[in-house]
Structure 1
Amino acid sequence: MQQSKHMPIALAALAYAVFLFSPSVLNDGDTWLHIAVGRWILEHGTVPVTDAFSYTFAGAPWRAQEWLSELLMALAWRLDGVDGVLILYGAAVALTVWLLARHLQTWFPPLLAVIVTIYASLCGAGSALARPHLLAVPALELWVAGLALARTRERPPSPWLLPVMTLWANLHGSFVFGLLLVVPFGLEAVFATKTPDWHAARSWALFLAAGIAASMLTPYGWHSLVMPFHLMRLQHLTAISEWQSPDFNMIQPAEIALFALLLACLLHGRRISLFRLLILLGMLHMSLQHVRHFLVAGIVLPLALAEPLSRGGVRGDAFGAPVAIHGAVGRNRLPGLAGLGLLALVTVLRLGTAAVPHDGPMSPLSALQHVPAALRTKPVLNDCMFGSFMIYEGFRPFVDGRAELYRDKFIELIIDIDRPDSAVLQRTLASRDIAWTILSPSNPASAVMDMVPGWKRLYADEYAIIYVRGTPTS
């Protein structure tokens, strides 16, 4: 069977097409928040250092960790609305798939590299949302590939990886994980021989120090480095769905990938170094703890384990064309040409099929359109999952998805209200002078609102119910 180096192009085009027309990619309300923050950055010519979007924490210290992703989203939105945002993210997905498939050819035959890339993509399918973590995934792939190829070539990592770290740090807070990965790869380099290689230790240590310095080249400086750790310390983080453990009542793509990995190790008896095993165990722990880490594991593990699982190594180039280990790369350009044609076709189709915000579980568009003008600027109690879309629509919500802003005490208040605790709910309505509420019909607090004296329903549909205090003003 003829194999082609152009297959990654076709695979990337397919991933691009699937993303562009998948309804689920806009199923996270934070997409709208990030667009709104990006618009604010464009309007003010600076990045926020205090909250300018809620009324409950207005003026409180808050930094937009993903400011560059949000700026790119706002620019794409200005160019072509939601379609522009989808194309931006589709391009990031396609680039990641292409990079991963090409880099894996350093150790695997082209067809096997494509198969592994498909499995890796399926592992991250649940996190395929138009949010900053997806714009940072190409940087993640480049960084991990650079570390793995440095070990294959028995050299320190290339200095060209440092700009990748700076870019990553401005796109998303997950860059901290990239810095941590330097440690096991570096230790493997030090202890790869019978006696410790102290020259390698010095080289990898200097690279780590340079990487840390590169990660602080953001508008927030050293704060960018500590913000992810502050987020992870929140006690109520698991109240957010993406920070919960995965549900294995149904077969997960990551489960199949793990079984395939174990099968490959057992059948071929490959020897994996202690430090790569630590990466494997660390990724398994993170993925079992938080479902959002399936995406990261799908990229990190293939690159980290490719060399020990392959029949031999090849001196690859992280920024050039990887070389296949087995067989000659086919000369058939048809998959690549077909992929480029598909890229052009689906882009035209996406631009010709305007995507606009519509009613959904995270976007109560119709309900917000029924809010009287006199109430729009008054204090509101809202369902947390509505908050980000409300900011996008110009409202100042009670709460939204920024756990790092609201912190544990306030999140605990939201949990009590949603439980529902009628006394806490009514006390909040009175103490904060709430003029109206917008809640999901599935929120237990909605049933309590029907019984609170002096409150009545103004509007209801399948996604949201609006209650107002007294007689609503038209």
Structure 2
Amino acid sequence: MNTSYTDEKSPRSQPEETAPAATAETRSAFARVRTALVWIVLGWTVALEQLDDNSFLTHLRTGRWILEHHGVPHSDIYSYTVPGAPWVAQSWLAEVLYAGLYESPVGPNGIRVLGGILGAACAYLAYRLADRAAAGRARTVVVLLPALFVSALYWVERPLFIGILAFLALLWIVEIPDSAAGRRPLIALPLLMWLWANCHGSFALGFAYLALHLLGRWADGHRPWQGRERRLLQATVLAFAACFLNPYGAGLVLFPVQLLTHGEALQYVPEWQSPDLRSLVGAAFAVWIAVFVAVLVLARTRPTRRDVLVSLPFLLLGLWALRNAAVAPLVGLPIAARLLPAAPPPVRRPRLDVAVVTTAVLIAASLTRSQLAEPPFDLSRYPVAAMRSVEEQGLLGRRLFTTTGWAGYVIHRYWPRQRVFMDDRYDMYPTDFAVNYQKVRHGDARWRTTFDRYRVEVVVWETGAPLTELLTESPSWRTVYRDRLATVLVRR
């Protein structure tokens, strides 16, 4: 029985008349467990990595601050350039989760295990979503593998990862209406969107998806004030209202919109730039687009207006900003899965199933043991030795200028003794300030004016970078430490 969300007038929605005999019911339960377990193991091992994301380090420090102060910060606490500036820690709930695990007996490895659980959940939900959308009749690996490959590149220890899982849960509610969550959207949607909104700003994409879905169903002849569309519309309104129940009120709900007003500064941030085909993410996203378009063109049944209206904007969002590539393929996954041609029923081989399951479990256990045996943090790309030199020379606490990526490490390791010039909270810093920082970073001649204005005393910068060379040649600065990664310079 086809249980995916398709147009009732479409031939695919009437399997008892058009579907071949080989449906999901003809497949062995053990074979399903085998396939699901393989995806779960892949998701688990991909996400069970060492902690090294610079944004995560800031999130972790913020979560610890929240636990220590029993409340969320409402103004900046990390910089000396805009101290006290209004700040919405929009991922406060995820930050509390990180800090709670960090401070618990399991320590930072607990955060890594959390990542593995999120990865396993994402892989399993994506597999089940594709399988249910295709009614078990198609080999969905054709679309599932490229879609998950793109998304998995963003499965790192930051709140966006939670947002990706939340998006998959939303797709499940909408695309599989006869599922437990799909039958209860008035309960499932408000709860999901509240959790999502308090964990990451990508919840706005969830509401955009819901709006496009309802508009698309309307275009297909299903009015939003009738049937299931009415319940989804009511659930969406309730979910939006529930999002205002947070420590920041409307400020948190409006955060995604306010972030976009910093577009001039965001253009310098790699994840907010358009995909580069020479990069791994850009090339993988291009492969997904090619696969998705090929499925739509070669499908025997035409996609509905709703499918086009939902998938096209998200593909464009992925082409506009690289970070949207984390969810754009997931939106198209169930659509492509429904349009795949039916495949012959799999041959039942119980012994092979047992062998695959056993092998998958053994591989997962071995990889888990070896990965968790490594130090929980990988700080190899941070100026650990350089900052240790700063501390040993009595320079800690002075006005420090470093990269926004390294600032996360400084905040994690040395705050509150050391504040930063700027970190990657582009939503908080004034746009003109952030743009000026980017120009100075690339060696703009106005670096002297900026350093004088903010009375910068110590610079920890990339060895060999244009700014480092300019400071080295300046008689006003002297080098006190240098290694292959970072150089420390002090104002004379």
For the aligned pair, the TM-score class normalised by the smaller chain equals 0.7 to 0.9
Cα deviation for residue 169 of structure 1 reads 1.0
Equivalents in 2 of 1:330, 1:140: separation in Å?
35
- Identity over the aligned pairs, expressed in percent? 25
Structure 2 Cα separation of the partners of residues 342 and 110 of structure 1: 29
Which position in structure 2 is the counterpart of 1:396? 419
5 Å-filtered alignment, 1:76-225, equals: 76-79=101-104, 80-108=106-134, 109=136, 112-150=139-177, 157=185, 159-193=187-221, 196=223, 198-200=225-227, 202-225=230-253
Instruction: Answer yes or no: is 1:346 the counterpart of 2:367.
Output: yes
Gaps of 5+ in 1: 313-323
Measure, in 2, the Cα distance between the counterparts of 1:407 and 1:245.
Answer: 23
The one-letter amino acid paired with 2:39 is L
Q: Aligned letter for 1:240?
A: V
Of the structure 1 ranges 155-164 and 70-79, higher mean CA displacement relative to structure 2 is found in 155-164
Q: Secondary structure at the match of 1:403?
A: coil
Against the structure 1 CA distance between its residues 111 and 44, is the aligned structure 2 distance closer, same or farther, given a 3 Å change threshold? Answer: farther
The 3 A distance-change label for structure 1 pair 111 and 392 is farther
Whether 2:319 is the aligned partner of 1:264: answer no
Q: In terms of mean alpha carbon deviation, does 72-81 or 169-178 score higher?
A: 72-81
Tell me the distance in 2 between the aligned counterparts of 1:329 and 1:299.
30
Give 1:66's aligned residue: 91
- 1:354 maps to a residue whose letter is P
Could you give the per-residue CA deviations for residues 3-56 of structure 1, whole angstroms, max 9, x where no partner exists? 8211122211122113324x7x73x32121111111111211211111111111
Q: Cα gap change, 1:177/1:270 in structure 2, threshold over 3 Å: closer, same or farther?
A: same
Q: Is the aligned partner of 1:359 residue 2:380?
A: yes
Take 2:378 and 2:291, find their aligned partners in 1: how far apart are those partners? 40
Q: Is the 8 A contact 1:357 1:365 kept in 2?
A: no
Paired amino acid for 1:365:
V
- Which residue is 1:321 aligned to? none
The CA deviation at 1:454 is 2.9
Structure showing greater relative contact order (alpha-carbon pairs closer than 8 Å, 6 or more residues apart): 1
The letter of the residue matching 2:478 is K
The alpha-carbon distance between structure 1 residues 268 and 110, as it changes in their structure 2 partners (threshold 3 A), is closer
**Structure 2: gaps spanning 5 or more residues:** 1-26
C-alpha contact (below 8 Å) 2:40/2:123 kept by paired residues: yes
Conservation of the 8 A alpha-carbon contact between 1:144 and 1:304: no
More moved, 117-126 vs 49-58: 117-126
Q: Which amino acid aligns with 1:418?
A: R
CA 1:98–1:389 in 2, change beyond 3 Å: closer, same or farther?
A: same
The match for 1:247 is 276
CA drift at 1:369? 0.4
1:467 aligns with 2:492: no
Provide the rounded CA distance (Å) in 2 between the counterparts of 1:104 and 1:295: 17
The answer to whether residue 476 in structure 2 is matched with residue 454 in structure 1 is yes
Greater Cα shift, 351-360 or 461-470: 351-360
Q: Give the stretch that moved more between structures: 77-86 or 159-168.
A: 77-86
Q: Which amino acid aligns with 1:454?
A: S
Cα displacement (A) at 1:138? 1.5
Cα offset, 1:311, TM superposition: 6.1
3-state SS of paired residue (2:430): helix
Contact 2:440 2:447 in 1 (8 A): yes
CA distance 1:248–1:438, change in 2 (3 Å) = same
Alpha-carbon separation, structure 2, partners of 1:188 and 1:278: 6
In structure 2, relative to structure 1, the CA distance for the partners of 1:106 and 1:329 (3 Å cut) is farther
Q: Name whichever of 388-397 and 211-220 sits farther off.
A: 211-220
2:73 is the alignment partner of 1:48: yes
Go from structure 1 to structure 2 and tell me whether the alpha carbon gap of 1:156 and 1:18 turns closer, same or farther (over 3 Å shift): closer
Give the TM-score normalised by the residue count of structure 1: 0.86
Q: Structure 2 residue aligned with 1:420, among 413, 424, 443? A: 443
Call closer, same or farther: CA 1:103–1:335 in 2, change over 3 Å: farther
Once residues 427 and 344 of structure 2 are traced to their aligned partners in structure 1, the CA distance between those partners, rounded to angstroms, is 46
Instruction: Please list the CA deviations of residues 315-351 of structure 1 after superposition, one character each: whole Å capped at 9, or x if unmatched.
Output: xxxxxxxxx9977998746545554454444333333
> Matched residues in 2 for 1:199 and 1:293: separation?
32
Structure 1: distance between partners of 2:93 and 2:224: 39
Superposed, which structure 2 residues align to 1:201-350 within 5 Å?
202-234=230-262, 235-249=264-278, 252-307=283-338, 309-310=339-340, 332=353, 335-336=356-357, 338-350=359-371
Q: How many residues align?
A: 451
Contact 2:219–2:305 (Cα < 8 Å) also in 1: no
User: Once the two structures are superposed, what CA deviation does each residue of 1:159-200 show, in whole Å capped at 9, x if it has no partner?
Assistant: 32321111111111100110111112223333434x846424
- The one-letter amino acid of 2:387's match is L
User: Does structure 2 conserve the Cα–Cα contact (< 8 Å) formed by 1:11 and 1:114?
Assistant: no
Instruction: Kindly indicate whether the alpha-carbon contact (under 8 Å) linking 1:4 and 1:333 is maintained by their aligned counterparts in 2.
Output: no
Amino acid at match of 2:117: A
Q: What TM-score results when the alignment is normalised by the length of structure 2?
A: 0.84
Letter in structure 1 aligned against 2:102: W
Please provide the CA RMSD for this pair.
Answer: 2.9
Q: Return the letter of the residue paired with 1:241.
A: P
Conserved in 1, the CA contact under 8 Å of 2:54 and 2:405? Answer: yes
The counterpart of 1:384, out of the listed 390, 395, 404, is 404
CA distance in structure 2 between the aligned counterparts of 1:5 and 1:175, rounded to whole angstroms: 31
Q: What is the alpha-carbon distance in structure 2 between the residues aligned to residue 326 and residue 352 of structure 1?
A: 42
| Aligned mates of 2:210, 2:172 — CA distance in 1 | 12
Cα separation, partners in 2 of 1:197 and 1:379, compared to 1, 3 Å = closer
Offset of residue 203 of structure 1: 3.2
- Give the drift of 1:115: 4.6
Task: Give the Cα–Cα distance (whole angstroms) in 2 for the partners of residues 370 and 169 of structure 1.
Answer: 41
Counterpart-to-counterpart distance in 2, 1:173 and 1:384: 20
- For residues 383-437 of structure 1, give each alpha carbon's deviation from its aligned partner in whole angstroms, at most 9, with x where no partner exists: 2221111101123110111101113111122023123233x22222223222211
